[in-house]
């Protein structure tokens, strides 16, 4: 069963997280991690909930909230590959350039990540490895319609389809014009 807007509102309130409900284009950007198993596929979702002319819009995009197999096998950080810890990260992103190449949401404040350093295909979510800092955990796109994650994510939250991502960035630009260049991202583990 699909996760609805009300499901997300209820879950955010349960966890004591903020849900933005006033004004048009006041974005709620919520990643849903459907499993903690590495499939090297885009098996998660990014939900964007906001109002336009006072009416709710709920966009759902296929994505990954987990690193790909190639990144797990070859970490770029000596502590291990980053896996974003579920939570709400208030005002932690802004519109900027991902690796200097294209407009995306880029990390501006410290985020919590698990560090998986054993160089295998299994996601290790050990609380003892949690690290907090600015690591370039961005919200960006993969290819036109990617199937395999591999190097598309080494901890980033990544859209499966570039067309979905382009729509998302258009919405982010509208939000920026109204509220400034600051975005909150919430990552939730599936709860239903």
**Tens digits of per-residue pLDDT, 128-146?**
999 999 999 999 999 999 9
Q: Which of 10, 5, 11 is nearest to 190 (CA)?
A: 11
Distance CA 23, CA 144 (A): 32
Residues 46 and 61: beta-carbon distance below 8 Å: yes
pLDDT bucket at 192, cuts 50 / 70 / 90: low
Residues 127 and 146: beta-carbon distance below 8 Å: no
Query: pLDDT per residue over 143-165, tens digit each?
Result: 999 999 999 999 999 999 999 99
Q: What pTM was estimated for this model as a whole?
A: 0.97
In the β-sheet with 111-116, what is the strand arrangement from edge to edge?
81-84, 111-116, 131-133
Residue 69 φ/ψ, nearest 5 degrees: -60, -45
Query: pLDDT per residue over 44-96, tens digit each?
Result: 999 999 999 999 999 999 999 999 999 999 999 999 999 999 999 999 999 99
Q: Where are the domains of the chain?
A: 5-189
Distance CA 133, CA 137 (A): 10
**Mean confidence (pLDDT) of the chain:** 97
Q: Which of 184, 144, 182 is nearest to 164 (CA)?
A: 144
């Amino acid at each position: 069963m699909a996760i609805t807007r009300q499901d997300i509102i209820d879950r955010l309130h349960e966890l004591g997280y903020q849900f933005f409900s006033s004004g048009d284009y006041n974005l709620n950007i919520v990643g849903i991690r459907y499993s903690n198993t590495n499939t090297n596929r885009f098996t998660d979702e990014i939900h964007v909930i906001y109002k336009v002319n006072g009416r709710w819009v709920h966009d759902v995009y296929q994505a990954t909230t987990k690193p790909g197999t190639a990144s797990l096998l070859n970490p770029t950080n000596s502590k291990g590959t980053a896996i974003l810890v579920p939570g709400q990260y208030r005002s932690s992103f802004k519109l900027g350039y991902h690796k200097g190449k294209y407009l995306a949401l880029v990390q501006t404040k410290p985020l919590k990540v698990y560090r998986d350093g054993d160089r295998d295909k299994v996601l290790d979510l050990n609380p003892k490895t949690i690290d907090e800092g600015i690591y370039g955990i961005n919200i960006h796109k993969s290819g036109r319609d990617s199937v395999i994650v591999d190097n598309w994510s080494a901890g980033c939250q990544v859209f499966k389809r570039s067309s979905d991502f382009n729509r998302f960035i258009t919405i982010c630009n509208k939000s920026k014009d109204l509220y400034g260049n600051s975005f909150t991202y919430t990552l939730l583990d599936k709860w239903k």
